[in-house]
Structure formats: C-alpha cells, structure tokens
Structure 1
C-alpha cells in the first residue's frame, strides 16, 4: 500500500485478529491500547515496553535469573518472551509484526491482541503463574511445593491486576489511543 503524498512510499500494515488491516504507523511508543475501526479495543505491546508493565520488578528479576533463553538476539527474559507465551497459548488472537528493518516506527516488534489491555494483563499474569506452578512442581522440597500451592489458592489474578494497574498508573498510559 502506498503512502498518500509520498510517491512510491510504502506503508507496512498488520492484519489484526479482528480482520481489520491497519498501517503500523498507527501505533506509537506510548500506546497500550488501540481503538480499532471494528469497534473493539486491542492491547498493543512493543518490544521496547518493559515486562514490568505486567509484572512487579522483583518477579521480573526472578524470571531473568531463572528462565534460560535460547536466543542470541534476546539473551535475557523480556517482553518478547512474555508475548511469545501469550502467542503460543492464543495464536489466533495475537497479530505480530517484525519491524526491525523499519527505522520509522521506533520499535522492532509489535503485537496487537484480540484482547483489551486489561484482559491481556490478566492473561500474562495467569500464564506466568502457570509457568511458576510448573517450575515449582519440579522442586524436590515438598514443603516448598505445598507452600506455593497454598499461596496460589488465595491469589486472585483480577484483584492483583487491578491493584498493580492502580499502583503503576497504567490507565494513564491507555489515553494514547487511536481510531
């Protein structure tokens, strides 16, 4: 697709989970949610967004210390790994674009989901808890396993997301919306 007013200029597009096609220049670095022409709000994540957008600092540190990555380009656990887990679980609800060759956008990887920003936040937390449960299940200490399971019974993902978003003031970031 050509860019109006720019002879021969091409606009990269992304096919969203809802079926809409949107130019990638519609997504800026501060955007967390996109008001789509389809009428839905879609969560927007870029590789430059820190994983602390979804998880507390201490947990990101633990994940970085314990999760072994296999990528030379991304040797440390980061946002692309979180979105990779979401993509694996919901392949038809996440659109991706590799824009590493496009110097005009300011980011290399873009994910736009079929979920709004808050629901994506819940999904990320749920999937990280599942990863933690799997890791703890391999522990050789039964007391550790039982303690973790006891704490998870009381853990309310929705309440955690509400509190975390309020503390991090993520709703203020959501004002960066586009139609």
Structure 2
C-alpha cells in the first residue's frame, strides 16, 4: 500500500476506535505510520480523509453483502427481500463500529461543516446501490425507501437489538402493508 491507502486504513481504524468527532489528524497519521503532511497532500483535510474512509467502508460493506447474497440472486422478490434484510441486520453485529460511526455523523451534521454536502453526494450512489441490492436496479425511488428502512433498522438495532425486526419480520410486514394499500 502507498501513503494514500495507508491513510484510509488508518482513518478507518481510528473511526472505529474513537468515532468521527474524536479522531484527530495525529491519530490517523500515527495509525497509518505516515507524516501529518501526508493527510493534506493526499486529501486536503482530515475531515475529507475521514469522509473518504467512511464511504470506502460503506462500499466494502455493500460488496460484502452482494457476495453473501449471490446464492439468492435468482430467488423470488420476497425471498430476496428477506435474505437481504437478514444479511443487513447480521452486519449490524459484524460491523457495529461502522454503523455507530454512520449514526454519529448523521446525528451531528451541523457540527461537521462540509460533511453534509459530502454525505448528500453519496446518497444518490447509496440509493442506487441499495436498489440494485434488492433487485430493483436503477430505481432511485425504491432506493430511497430502502435507505429509509435501513436508517430506521439501524436506530432500532443500536438502541434495542433484541427487539429489532428480523428480515423475516420485515418481509411479513411489507406484505401486510401492501395488502392494506391494495385495500
């Protein structure tokens, strides 16, 4: 790895250990084994590096979920929906630090100037990625729905994982909502 990749890896470790607000440039440089100046050279600022690390971690998460779902790619939509949500909720355990950082950033956007714009720029990609993951490629509208559901699931899981719905629960609830809407 070069300095740029080392910095992203170091920033990711610091995010998971200290969170967004408490991570300093010195923390990252130390974790990456590079000079402080390398942050400015490669990213312009510590916040830009932290943002890059978050987005890279989310992309890796998406790829991980996609690989895990290869077996259900040809499943009917309901089975796929349930399988995707089961895998997503599993990731709340295996990647808890990533989700905690995401929640920290979203709840404190006003304290991180410039982060909101960076986050919003990634939303369109995230929505399309979620739509693809659920078998509805190109649907930003459904991607926004999945993103909303993901945020709600995350809040429930972070506060009370034992009572958060499972993939199976969500699939059943969606069926009930659809039945109500169809009247």
TM-score over 0.5 for the alignment? no
More helix per residue:
2
Q: TM-score range by the shorter chain?
A: under 0.3
User: Please, what TM-score do these two structures have when normalized by structure 1?
Assistant: 0.24
Higher relative contact order (CA 8 A, sep 6+): 1
More strand per residue:
1
User: Please, what TM-score do these two structures have when normalized by structure 2?
Assistant: 0.24
